[in-house]
Structure 1
């Protein structure tokens, strides 16, 4: 079975580029990407999107098959359609994995930033004269949301097992976390969108709740905060469920 080797692909790309007396920037300009992107390809750190395979091959004067194999084919040597199809499918898989990896890094970064924001908010609330006891519920909710966000942003798998795509499964169980939503079937078509909803909700609530706490104290003191803190949570949770069902059903 033919597999695409990132390093072999990158070395071949660099060799052919140099044969054409092109710099990384020259190639990047022709493909409308950055020279850093070309550098990542050549170092085997990532694969180009499948839509760029034909333009790359055309610019370098080689075939897509040669590009994916990482070597030039001998004269009169051709690959059968099954091998070519396998190479293309593998390139799609590699491109998808690179995309997923980058998306996960972005969410981990967002999670870390959110932790910093919540810490700053707690300090500002304390400086403004609100005691730890008074802001206790706000801190508890923020920490709870960050706990859930740690799973959604760091540990949750971006892809579900294939049986989710062939069966109607209304729950996802990964590690200690289990999500069950009656009437909504999870699959790889909607899971990424559902994950995004939960990530935005947990991070957003962690940051927003201390702000609501502060505004409540400004407007009406502790009594105002006590009157809005629980209804706010109920409204947010209902909103989460509604949005999750809408998004999940749309891409189901």
Structure 2
């Protein structure tokens, strides 16, 4: 069974409510947001009703369209700021670049930067970033 990438609930506000609220703030219809994210408007409805949760590249694109971050959208708050661990960051960058070379793929710089942030946060939280996790994230967005 696939491992969930992001926690869905935090505090009293669910991700579905954050999606609905941020969409309303941006004065976007479900259809307009769906087009921008690259999904059907029914998918947006399911996300806003709490029937499904956006994952991977859709979570990243949704957050971008709503002017927030995947972490804020999924968790409701940003992780506490911390000093950048340059060794971990270098390892994440090497893992991403290595995966792209090995799999003969390319990725736009902005998407690569977003993915590096997500994988860095994962590595800091878990204390490790293994090849399986890197591969799973990369296949979701590459």
Structure showing greater relative contact order (alpha-carbon pairs closer than 8 Å, 6 or more residues apart): 2
TM-score by length of 1: 0.29
TM-score by length of 2: 0.48
> In proportion to residue count, which structure has more helix?
1
